[in-house]
Chain A
Amino acid sequence: MLPMLLHLEVKSHTFYFPLGLLYLLLVPVLLLGAIACLALLVVPATSRQMRSYIPLIMALPSLLSASIGMQIAYRHISIHII
């Protein structure tokens, strides 16, 4: 599961930012990326090279999901990925 919430604390103020919105914003970029990948896979000259990148691309969401629980605090600012 992807991280869904960003918990931000600044001094005594608390904010929650739904990361779903960020993912929605990234949908067009992902679509363009998918089309570019397909085009590269179809072209024989780049197909082999593109195929070698597929495992890396497939592993990226798991890297993102592994970031759940990460917390960074600096001075009075704290960021927590939930």
Chain B
Amino acid sequence: MSEERLRILHLLSEGKVSPQEAEQLLQAMDKNAVQSVAKPNDMKGKYLYVQVEPKEGKTSERVSVKVPFALVKAGLNISKLIPMEAQGKVQESMHQSGIPFDFSSLDSQNIQEILEALEEMSIDVDTDESTVKIFCR
């Protein structure tokens, strides 16, 4: 659960806001989240590349994937819109699979930080058969 959502629920439990006001605040929060998903244009023109190139004389496969940054951002933002009940189920099954993932850790600031880190990221893996490059441009 996000911090903002928790704060609203806390205010409700303390009686500082009425249930109707709390609902309005939560709806406004959801609307903001939808708008942030709907406006991925600030990342327009940037792509995340994954390239696998075989070395000379080697027969390994050539793979190239180019993913728009806007899609990465929209995908990360959309996770915030998953209803609480569904988030709980997803988290539970991920924990069972050994992946300690917490939806509440994905707030807008974290997403921005992840994207900024991705922009500067460059990974080169050199093997006998091929070279793998992951970068943003």
Contact = CB atoms under 8 A, between A and B. Distances in A.
Contact of A69 (B37, B47, B63): B47
B94 interface: no
Interface string A65-79: 011111111110010
B71 interface: yes
Contacts of B1: none
A70 B71 contact: yes
Contacts, number: 67
Contacts of B67: 70
Interface in A51-66: 52-53, 55-56, 58-60, 62-63, 66
A49 interface: yes
- Mostly, the B contact residues are helix
Which has the most chain A C-beta neighbours within 10 Å: B71, B75, B84?
B71
Contacts of B37: 59, 62-63
- The residue in A53, A56, A78 that gathers the most chain B C-beta atoms within 10 A of its C-beta is A56
A73 B75 contact: no
Interface residues of A, number: 21
Leading 9 A-B pairs by shortest Cβ distance: A52-B83, A71-B66, A73-B64, A66-B70, A66-B74, A66-B71, A59-B37, A56-B81, A62-B38
28 contacts: A49-B85, A52-B84, A55-B30, A55-B31, A55-B33, A56-B78, A56-B82, A59-B33, A59-B34, A59-B37, A59-B38, A62-B40, A62-B74, A63-B74, A66-B40, A66-B71, A66-B73, A66-B74, A69-B47, A69-B66, A70-B68, A71-B65, A71-B66, A73-B62, A73-B63, A74-B61, A75-B61, A75-B62
Interface of A: 49, 52-53, 55-56, 58-60, 62-63, 66-75, 78
